[in-house]
């Protein structure tokens, strides 16, 4: 599959998800948070293309990571909190929208 096709397919699947929809994926330990400094589609494309050097670099910089216990606690108390979400099997990538980042 060509890279352009990967990005186009990912863009079609980019959506907004409420926290309560993401909880089952958290329980399976497949949710990954993408920092606002990164483009969600860029990260999805890197994962789908097995670009391990980029992914490892972002992990080292803590720009992509698993949710912390504190984050989970905050989000569990607000199950309608919205995230930009992208499924890149087996992961569900989430990113707080700019206007709501930092809110409970």
Is residue 96 predicted with pLDDT exceeding 70?
Answer: yes
CA dihedral 7, 9, 15, 20 (to 10 degrees): -110
Dihedral sign from CA coordinates of 59, 64, 70, 76: negative
Residue spans of the domains in the chain: they are 3-100
Q: What is the pTM of this model?
A: 0.88
Mean pLDDT of the chain: 91
What does the alpha-carbon distance between residue 8 and residue 71 come to, in Å, rounded to a whole number? 31
| DSSP code at position 101 | T
Q: What is the pLDDT of residues 18-59, one digit of tens each?
A: 999 999 999 999 999 999 999 999 999 999 999 999 999 999
The predicted pLDDT at position 30 comes to 97
Q: What is the pLDDT of residues 11-27, one digit of tens each?
A: 999 999 999 999 999 99
């Amino acid at each position: 599959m060509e890279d352009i096709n990967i990005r186009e397919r990912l863009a079609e699947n980019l959506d907004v998800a409420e926290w309560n929809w993401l909880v089952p994926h958290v329980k399976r330990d497949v949710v990954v948070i993408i920092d606002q400094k990164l483009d969600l589609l860029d990260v999805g494309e890197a994962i789908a293309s097995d670009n391990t050097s980029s992914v490892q670099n972002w992990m080292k910089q803590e720009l992509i990571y698993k949710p912390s216990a504190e984050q989970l606690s905050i989000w569990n108390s607000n199950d309608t909190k919205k995230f930009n979400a992208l499924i890149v099997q087996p992961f569900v990538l989430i990113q707080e929208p700019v206007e709501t980042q930092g809110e409970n």
